[in-house]
Structure 1
Amino acid sequence: MSFYVYLSGEIHTDWREQIAQGAEAAGLDVVFTSPVTDHEASDAAGDHLGTEGNQFWRDHKSSKVNAIRTRTLIEQSDLVVVRFGDKYKQWNAAFDAGYCAALDKPYITLHGEEIIHPLKEVDAAAMAWATTPEQVVEILRYVTRA
């Protein structure tokens, strides 16, 4: 039986690939999904619905189109990994963690020690806090073993 893991958050590093490669190398039966990780495509997700003169409405439409994918994949997952990077504020990742908490969906946060304080509430609801993709793979190894 496959274990479904949604990889949420920061899109500017290769953490998703590291986790997927680690899981494959460990022989884990894990299926990974994620949001659209092409920043420009994500920002333009609603552009086909009509041109907006106001950035708020462009972002509003695109966020709703993106939410179709995000909500569906989070709801279908067995576990969510939420990555917070140190370069950008990932408000969408915090929202995903909150959505998981509201659904009682288990999630793991993945971030460095330098942002423990601003993420204290997000971490408090998480099942685990990891600082490296390798730690996430070890958690997956444990929770998927027969």
Structure 2
Amino acid sequence: MSFTVYLSGEIHTDWREEIERGAAAAGLDITFTSAVTDHDASDAAGDHLGPACEGFWRDHKSSKINAIRTKTLIEMSDLVVVRFGDKYKQWNAAFDAGYCAALGKPYVTLHSEEIVHPLKEVDAAAMGWCTSTDQVVEILKYVTQ
């Protein structure tokens, strides 16, 4: 079965590549999509729309441009993996999880046990909670074969 998986969240580690390698090694027919993971490029997505006099307005313009990609790819996906890292608070990932919940789009979370409590509502709506990319790949194997 062909499947499209959107990979949301933390951009400071290679978790996306680990999942993609695991899926490829298992021979899974999966197309992976994601937000722009180049932090500087993402922050500058709206800069071409004119100068912003304050940081809020620069972020506001760029977030709207980024949302075109994010919303479209989440809506087109069969499953979303939402990764929360330990170092930074990924508010965008929490937003993506909420968007999935509102759409009825299945998602699984990927994060350490140390942040279970602050993510309790996000995890409650998820179809699964993973602590490793290997667990994500096992879910992908199961749901696509």
**Normalization by structure 2: what TM-score?**
0.99
**In the TM superposition, what are the counterparts of 1:11-30 in structure 2 within 5 Å?**
11-30=11-30
Residue of structure 2 in register with 1:46 after alignment = 46
Q: CA deviation at 1:2?
A: 1.7
Q: 1:27-73 deviations in whole A, cap 9, x for unaligned?
A: 00000000000000000000000010111110000000000000000
Structure 2, unpaired ranges of 5+: none
**Alignment RMSD (CA, Å):** 0.5
2:21 pairs with 1:4: no
CA distance in 1, matches of 2:64, 2:53: 18
Residue of structure 2 in register with 1:101 after alignment = 101
What amino acid sits opposite 1:27 in the alignment? Answer: G
CA distance in 2, matches of 1:83, 1:116: 12
What amino acid sits opposite 1:130 in the alignment? Answer: C
Residue of structure 2 in register with 1:81 after alignment = 81
Q: 1:112-139 deviations in whole A, cap 9, x for unaligned?
A: 0000000000000000000000000000
> How many residues are aligned here?
145
CA distance in 2, matches of 1:55, 1:20: 35
CA distance in 2, matches of 1:40, 1:91: 17
What amino acid sits opposite 2:6 in the alignment? Answer: Y
What amino acid sits opposite 1:39 in the alignment? Answer: H
**Normalization by structure 1: what TM-score?**
0.99
CA distance in 2, matches of 1:2, 1:71: 21
CA distance in 1, matches of 2:70, 2:108: 17
Structure 1 ranges of 4+ moved more than 4 A: none
Structure 1, unpaired ranges of 5+: none
